[in-house]
Amino acid sequence: MRAGLVAARTVKGMWRTLTARQLAVDIAVPGVLFLLLLLPYAMLGPASALVLFGMCVALVFRRLSPGFSLAIAWVTAIVQMVLGGPPTFANVAIFGVLYATAAYGTRLVMWLGFASIGLGSLTITFYVTISPALRSGDWIGWSGELVSGFGVAAFVSSLVSFGLSWSVGLLVRTLSRARQSRAVAIAAGQEVAAEQERTRIARDMHDVVAHSLAVVVAQADGARYAARSDPAAAEEALRTIATTAREALADVRVLLAQLRYQQEDGPQPTLGDLDRLIEQLRASGLQLVREDSGAPLPLGTAQQIAVYRIVQESLTNALRHADVNRPVTVRFSWTSHGVELAIVSHLVDAKPRTGIVPLAVPPVGHGIAGMTERATLGGGWLRAAADDNRFTVTAWLPYAPTGAYPPLILEEPTA
């Protein structure tokens, strides 16, 4: 039973999954090559045509099953030597097969391809030196032919060419593994950053929700005591309770189901704190230009915190990575549905002898992942990308009501 499972896993591991386009290319290229060379090889004899067919089949399977492709190439080469056929252009296909064993094969297939380098070089050397001597009946001269310059040249050239094709495949395999590892590391880092941002937003929201509940409790106690002596004060307290509860409920609906509770000391930022933030960064040497268009609308607490943190992170990144000699634009575009925020900075330019070349944009770090998380949890979106020599962060957050609502008036039925 166990042996059957191992065999099933082994057979399954021999075949790779290819896209339809890759499979079509792997079939079309050897197929066209076979059709173009079939007539000249058929004129050389059935053995040459058989070798051409075998090598083309090996090329078809080079990415789908590198181990199977290597086996076909070896069988074809052995048949060619048994039939006494000379080396032909079709034998060049072995380079592609060896490349595929190192680039796409399993660890076993990869090392089998490596072993084929030495074994194949020895086989070719013996075949091209000993086989002609044996066919001519010169039983003494074959040893001299083997150790002559021709034999050494045949072995070295085969070893170098086979080893080069296998080494290129190994290099491609290593680069592919490195890219995959880097992609996994980036994804894991962004996931960790998103979780950290959720926790930080939960801490931000703690003070907001706690403050709202404290106001509700205080106003409720006051309304209870003033209900008989001062009905107007009781009505005002109830209106305040309703307004505060609506604001807290809007924040809870957005975040509470997704975030963990953790307390953080200190007040929470709002849109009113943006001017102080901008002045602080101006004092640090950053040239800031603020542009506002449209009529500002009231935003919920979660949206205000998101706007503040996005502006803060974007301007901090601009101070660290952008050209501080050029102005950074902070643009607010208010619409009837929300606010669109854009922070545009200029990338640093290098000036070599050949001219001005923009430096590469820094890799995506935790800052952009955190800003994206904030915008998403606030009901909006965020995009960050480089365009020519500028880096733009664009975010949109929806309108959330924060103002007071008129109280409901229930009329008693009249008789």
183-231 per-position pLDDT tens digit: 888 888 878 777 776 676 665 565 456 545 655 666 676 677 777 777 7
Of 87, 97, 89, 166, the C-alpha closest to 123 is 87
Res 133: pLDDT: 63
Q: How far is CA 191 from CA 196, 198, 208, 257, 319, in A?
A: 9, 11, 26, 18, 26
Residue 400 has pLDDT above 90, yes or no: no
% the chain with pLDDT above 70: 70
The tokens of 121 are what? Answer: 């070089």
**Within 10 A of 371 (CB to CB), how many other CB atoms are there?**
23
pLDDT digits (tens, 9 = 90+) for 331-360: 999 988 889 999 999 887 655 544 444 444
Angle at 38 between CA 49 and CA 63, to 5 degrees: 80
Q: How high does pLDDT run on average in the chain?
A: 76
> Which residue would you say has higher pLDDT here, 196 or 137?
196
Q: pLDDT band at residue 60, thresholds of 50, 70 and 90?
A: very high
Of 379, 400, 402, 399, the C-alpha closest to 245 is 402
| Beta carbons of 90 and 44 less than 8 angstroms apart | no
Res 230: pLDDT: 77
Identify the weakest region by mean pLDDT among 5-9, 52-56, 216-220, 347-351. 5-9
Per CATH, the number for 271-398 is 3.30.565.10
Average pLDDT (71-76) is 92
Domain ranges of the chain: 2-147, 197-256, 271-398
Residue 65 has pLDDT above 70, yes or no: yes
**H or E element, residue 365:** none
Most confident of the following: 16-25, 120-129, 149-158: 16-25
Distance CA 62, CA 66 (A): 5
> Which residue would you say has higher pLDDT here, 177 or 269?
177
Q: Which residues make Cβ contacts (< 8 Å) with residue 168, sequence separation at least 6? A: 99, 102, 103
Res 344: pLDDT: 92
| Beta carbons of 88 and 41 less than 8 angstroms apart | yes
Residue 287 has pLDDT above 70, yes or no: yes
> Which residue would you say has higher pLDDT here, 345 or 250?
345
Average pLDDT (54-64) is 91
| Beta carbons of 241 and 219 less than 8 angstroms apart | yes
Burial of 51-60, coded b for 16+ CB within 10 Å and e otherwise, reads bbbbbbbbbb
Could you tell me the fold of the domain covering 197-256? 1.20.5
Res 252: pLDDT: 63
Average pLDDT (401-409) is 39
Residue 57 has pLDDT above 90, yes or no: yes
> Which residue would you say has higher pLDDT here, 244 or 295?
295
| Beta carbons of 62 and 48 less than 8 angstroms apart | no
Residue 157 has pLDDT above 60, yes or no: yes
Q: Helix 93-103 vs helix 46-60: angle between axes, to the nearest 10 degrees?
A: 20
Helices (H), 88-148: 93-103, 107-136, 141-147
Identify the weakest region by mean pLDDT among 18-32, 104-118, 345-359, 376-390. 345-359
Identify the weakest region by mean pLDDT among 29-43, 117-131, 152-166, 260-274. 260-274
The pTM of this model reads 0.48
Identify the weakest region by mean pLDDT among 113-117, 173-177, 245-249. 245-249
Burial of 154-183, coded b for 16+ CB within 10 Å and e otherwise, reads bbeebbebbeebbeebbeebeeeeeeeeee
Residue 62 has pLDDT above 50, yes or no: yes
Residue 395 has pLDDT above 90, yes or no: yes
